[in-house]
Structure 1
Amino acid sequence: MKKVRWGIIGTGKIAHLFASDFSHVKAGELCAVASRNKASADAFAEKFDIEWAFVDYFSLINSHEVDVIYIATPHVHHFDLAKACILAGKAVLCEKPLTINEAQSRILYDLALEHDVFIMEAMWTRFNPAVEQVIEWVEEGEIGTLNSLQASLNFLAPTDPNHRLLNIEMGGGALLDIGIYPVFLAQLLFGKPDFVQNQAVIGDTDVDVFEQILLGWESGKLASLDASLISCNPNRAVLSGSKGYIELDSEWFKAKSCRMVTAQGAERAVTFDFPGNGYQFEADEVNRCLQEGLLQSPNYSWQDSLELIATLDEVRQDIGLYYPGEEQPDFDVDDHHHEHSHHKH
């Protein structure tokens, strides 16, 4: 089987984490990187022993040196770059969120189908061994009927108003960057919610800096989720069932351990001793899919991704948060409601 050749677009923090974990990927080799800054591209290539360093994204996209491209740029650039990759016949692993809204994501998946090109949103948490263990316990009925879920993802973002996390032009805000993880976990376990409620705090730069989201399902299940760029939190996830509960340990989205506790108090803990942060598992999945000739991962499908962004769209519509270039519906009728429920931070 010939080695899958990888390229990376972007040289920021997430690209560094992915590249350093790539040494643990079972197959495939990292052979190209692109940054619009020559010094960054060269330094990144040297650090990770990458053969090709491009100063132009499109040179990498059209290069014959790579089979699959990992897109690690700010959110607002994902759509155009992924589209260019698909049109160039390159498989894509695109950092989450795949795009800033469902309409854009749908266009990419339709295009990938039309051009017969593999694409996956980089929801790396889905392939984390601790998360896979949790799914297995739930499916085997170890905690009885799973009724509810609580998950948080909070961290202190840089305070620079131009930082991508706080910049509306860059698709900033807590929801798309970190809120996506708790919502993902809830939908992984319960599917797309029937009810979405939330409270959000909008910061000085007009993006959401903190929200609490309550998701509900007709079947009587609930998920209580929060995401914040202004608070510290243990970042655990707890799944509650009729016979016990499961806890994913701190920094649950990249956890290396989880435990199950029965209603009687018996505990079973599992630890996974994997190296790095765990980005290697999504790369392994992409390599497997490419070698099997698949266009999407059966473990994190296009449908899963579309249902996730659809929920995030719904939360953003409720907050009244729109990014440049998005259609803004006419909110006249409902203005008082928005004034009432969203506080300026």
Structure 2
Amino acid sequence: MNEVRWGIIGTGSIAQAFAADFNYAQTGVLRAVASRSKEAADDFAERFDIELAMMDYFSLINSHEVDVIYIGVPNSLHFELSKACIMAGKHVLCEKPFTLNAIQAEELFELAKKHNVFVMEAMWTRFNPAVEQALEWVEEGEIGVLQSIQASFCFNGSQDPSERLLNNELGGGALLDVGIYPIFLAQLFLGKPDFIQNQALVGDTDVDVFEQLLLGWDEGQLAALESSIISQQPNRAVLSGSAGYIEFGQNWYQSKNLTLVKEDGAEHAIEFDVPGTGYQFEIEEVNRCIDEGLLQSPNHSWQDTLNLLATMDEIRQDIGVFYPGEPEPCEHDCDIEHHHHEHGHHKH
């Protein structure tokens, strides 16, 4: 395998966790970091022992020193920066949510195909050993027929309205930031839901701060999910089946322990002895895919990302949360007008 050379865009908390875990990855080398501030880039490079610190994103995007770029900046910038990387022939690992909506994601995947570059949403939890183990147990029929999923991702964040999570301009809100994880878990095991019900609280800054979701599938399965940026939760996840259940430990999305409980009460607990938060596993997946000449990961495919965004688009449409540049919620009425216009009934 040729050593895959990485660059990081952004120096915030998620980029820091990613850089720290890079040390635990078996493959790849972290070469460069870019920030809009020279000082931030220099500090980050020094802290994580990175050779190149760049003071603007485009120096990194156009650099011949890197093959793949990890994008760890606010949600509103994901689309433009991913697009720039793809156009420059760079492979991309973009933090979740991949884009603000499914339409943006479709455009990027088309572009990636055209430019022949690998692109993946950084759904790092997918590659967590505990999630891999749960998939294996379910596929082997250890809990019988999977019937329901319960999962939450809630925390009490900053109440400062200018803060990223509460900022509509930056693509803030509980759903895109943390709600995406429980939805991901449900869709990983059950696919895209056939119906969605939700109750949500939208705050003063026009972003959702709390929601409870019920996803349903035509075969009868249900997922009860919760996400919040205003309340604490143990953030456990349970997969319930006809012959037992699987329970993830606290903060399931990065949990290192997992318990299989059979219907007779027998328990099988596994503890994964892995360092860091767990970002190293997605790094290794990207390196493997690039080495094999793939444009997408079979384990978190473009379709998986589109399905996630489509579900979140539907929920946001329903609760009335829109981001700058998105079509406003007149769509249904617009369609009716458009339809009439075609038949010559449109009144001016």
Give your verdict on TM over 0.5.
yes
Q: Is the 2:320–2:329 Cα contact (8 Å) retained in structure 1?
A: no
Q: Which position in structure 2 is the counterpart of 1:294?
A: 294
Q: Is the 2:10–2:35 Cα contact (8 Å) retained in structure 1?
A: yes
Letter in 1 for 2:13: K
Letter in 2 for 1:40: A
Q: Which position in structure 1 is the counterpart of 2:183?
A: 183
Cα deviations across residues 178-229 of structure 1 (Å, max 9, x unaligned)? Answer: 0000000000000000001100001121110000000000010000000000
Distance 1:325 1:331 in 2: 14
Letter in 1 for 2:255: A
Cα deviations across residues 28-80 of structure 1 (Å, max 9, x unaligned)? Answer: 11010000011100000000111111111001000000000000000000000
Q: Which position in structure 1 is the counterpart of 2:284?
A: 284
Distance 2:193 2:332 in 1: 27
Distance 1:63 1:179 in 2: 35
Q: 1:31 to 1:267 in 2, by over 3 A?
A: same
Distance 2:213 2:276 in 1: 31
List alignment gaps of at least 5 residues for structure 1: 334-345
Cα deviations across residues 293-336 of structure 1 (Å, max 9, x unaligned)? Answer: 11000111001110110000000000011001100131798xxx
User: Secondary structure at 2:165's aligned position in 1?
Assistant: coil
Q: 1:52 to 1:314 in 2, by over 3 A?
A: same
Find out whether 1:264 has 2:299 as its counterpart.
no
How far 1:270 sits from its partner (Å)?
Answer: 0.4
Distance 1:181 1:110 in 2: 25
Distance 2:251 2:11 in 1: 24
Q: Which position in structure 1 is the counterpart of 2:228?
A: 228
Q: Which position in structure 1 is the counterpart of 2:123?
A: 123
Distance 2:101 2:332 in 1: 23
Find out whether 1:95 has 2:95 as its counterpart.
yes
How far 1:2 sits from its partner (Å)?
Answer: 2.1
User: Secondary structure at 2:23's aligned position in 1?
Assistant: helix
User: Secondary structure at 1:15's aligned position in 2?
Assistant: helix
Letter in 2 for 1:264: D
Paired residues, what number? 333
Find out whether 1:30 has 2:59 as its counterpart.
no
Q: Percent identity?
A: 66
How far 1:131 sits from its partner (Å)?
Answer: 0.4
Q: Which position in structure 2 is the counterpart of 1:149?
A: 149
How far 1:159 sits from its partner (Å)?
Answer: 1.3
Letter in 1 for 2:189: L
Alignment RMSD: 0.9
List alignment gaps of at least 5 residues for structure 2: 334-348
User: Secondary structure at 2:261's aligned position in 1?
Assistant: strand
Letter in 2 for 1:26: Q
Distance 2:172 2:142 in 1: 39
Alignment of 1:1-345 (within 5 A): 1-330=1-330
Distance 1:329 1:23 in 2: 45
Distance 1:259 1:149 in 2: 15
Letter in 2 for 1:239: L
How far 1:107 sits from its partner (Å)?
Answer: 0.2
User: Secondary structure at 1:156's aligned position in 2?
Assistant: coil
Distance 1:245 1:49 in 2: 43
Q: 1:114 to 1:55 in 2, by over 3 A?
A: same
Q: Is the 2:70–2:93 Cα contact (8 Å) retained in structure 1?
A: yes
TM-score, normalised by the number of residues in structure 1: 0.95
Distance 2:169 2:127 in 1: 31
Cα deviations across residues 236-291 of structure 1 (Å, max 9, x unaligned)? Answer: 00011000110011000001000010111100000101000000000000000011
Distance 1:43 1:84 in 2: 25
Letter in 2 for 1:238: V
